Structure 1
Amino acid sequence: MMRPARSHPLWLAFVLHRISGLALALFLPLHFWVLAKALTAPAQLDAFLRLTDNPAVKLAEFGLVFLLAVHFFGGLRLLALELLPWPARHKTLAAAAVALAFFVSGTFFLEAI
């Protein structure tokens, strides 16, 4: 009997990859806008950078780095699925990718505090 796709453990990896990609795509215009302030309005950039000392912003940075790491390792997982012979350990490798993403973003967060 075939299980529905949404009950498969790798469905979560698929969803996380899509959500992280969408969130990063939404973040990039804001990031480029802030970078442009360095050239066009340095005083506004300084005011914005002072905002980054807020603990809520530090937490948001953790989330952003987590999404970046999830998207990166999810992309590597997809490349491995397409290019390598894939053993039956899908669930373990997907969980390892999420754990590694959490480790990378957690390390960044601890350095940012």
Structure 2
Amino acid sequence: MSDVLPSEEQLDDLIRAVPGVDELYSSAPLVAAVIATAVDAVTGRSPSAGSVEIAQGKSGLSVSVKIGIVESFAATDVCRRVHDAIAEQLDRSGTGPVDAITVTVARIG
């Protein structure tokens, strides 16, 4: 098992490359996302990523992502491809057991 978790940016790029995905949304709770956006605007820094949430729990790694899907693609197919792409990346990176991969559709079309 690797002690190095995959980066959010790496998974972000991987997910955006999945056919049918046209947007990633913040996986942070709404209040945290609003505060981060306000801080980014006030400080002039680049927007915080936060579109992929990665957590190491007691029983394994958990990854959560919220996506927008192109209207002409089937949501179930896109979600399965995103799930499989994340699972393959985690397997290649040797992060150890995976507890959960959660793909939420935030928008279609």
TM-score between both structures, scaled by the size of structure 1: 0.30
In our comparison, the structure showing a higher alpha carbon Rg is 1
Higher helix share: 1
Structure (1/2) with the larger strand percentage: 2
